[in-house]
Structure 1
Amino acid sequence: MNLRTELPTAENSSNFNAVADAVTKAGTTLENLKAAVAGETGASAKYAAFAKAAKEQGFDQLARLWEATSAAEQIHINLEASLVEAEDPSYTRPTAEAPAPEAIDLNLIASANGEIFETSDMYPTFIKKAQEEGHAKAVKVFTRAKLAEAVHAEKYLEAYNNIDAADDDAYYLCPGCGYIHKGEDFEKCPICGVPKAKFQRF
């Protein structure tokens, strides 16, 4: 993801439309925040399971990618759940069972498909509703998650195409929005502006 002269928002970006066959049904923004937390919780558990399987099979770099994305989803969970808890103090964060991993290539495709759904269907739908309701904090949180998910999908597809030709590059996770960068060639997060020094290395 390239750096822009200004940080991306739902208002200054051209990639925030929901796909024509979107399946996400918008509730209130509070309901959508809860749905997003549930979805991200499932994704984090799934990626943790896939990371464990990859490590056991000797795919160390893939294991690190899944560990990074599992941690990224935890960032999204914390951002979204904090908004829920501000409106609904009785809210209890959900848990999720991890699915059984399949073959390593199929796990990568499943991961990419999940991220593509979030960036092209779920989050655009939730962002539009939050805009309609004037919920600026939710718009910002959903926007940053949506943009990070697109990058996650890209990383999964890159890993899929290079599954038998992996390199030793590290993955770096932005603590502000869950963006993931592969390799050393960056200075700050292109989504939220956090400097490289604060990123977590995987």
Structure 2
Amino acid sequence: MSIHHLPAPRAITVYPNSEELTIKIVENEDERLKAMLVRAIVYMHEQQCPFSEEFDLNDHTSTQIVGLDQDGEPVLTARIRYFNKLAKIERLAIRSEYRGRGYAHRLLHFILSICRQKGFSCFYLHAQARLQFFYEGYGFRPVGGDFAFSDHDYIEMVLEESEKQPQPSEQIGHWPMFLNRPENNLDQAGPLEYGISCDRLQHGLSEGVRA
């Protein structure tokens, strides 16, 4: 399967017949603040987690996800960090008034899609013990022992997919503009590619992007 034809995890709309929700990668300071606000509401206020445990330097280096309703109100969030052959999913949070609508499933689908597009097929997270069954429904399995922080019980969980994803690095030497594409749009030509001649662009799209 060609990386060029992978489905892009761009902003998606869910539950169009009720409340509209857009899930997307944080692109600006306003969206970043909204993502942080959801975490403050869910973890600091609802679960009484101290600020020092909730926010850290990884917030400046991770991929931040935010979910917004049709009025731009922050609904949910998560973040992703990347290691060698492993994507770590963190800080999933949904405000209480928006739960029970399937948004957690949409959020996890969105996150996994981003990671797969980057070539990851192994995913790791810390699940609250009460939510273990949710992640098991996606193929995650418990590893190691239980642990606790902020007065909540957690368990390590891993999802290892047998089908390996195409690697973006495979495009090196074949299509130089591929790795310049925006974070969540590896299946579409990016801004720099539009500056290339039509003949060169067509060659890159048809031959440069390897299957």
Q: Same fold (TM over 0.5)?
A: no
Query: Higher helix proportion, which one?
Result: 1
Query: Higher strand proportion, which one?
Result: 2
TM-score (norm 2): 0.28
For the pair shown, which has the larger CA radius of gyration, 1 or 2? 2
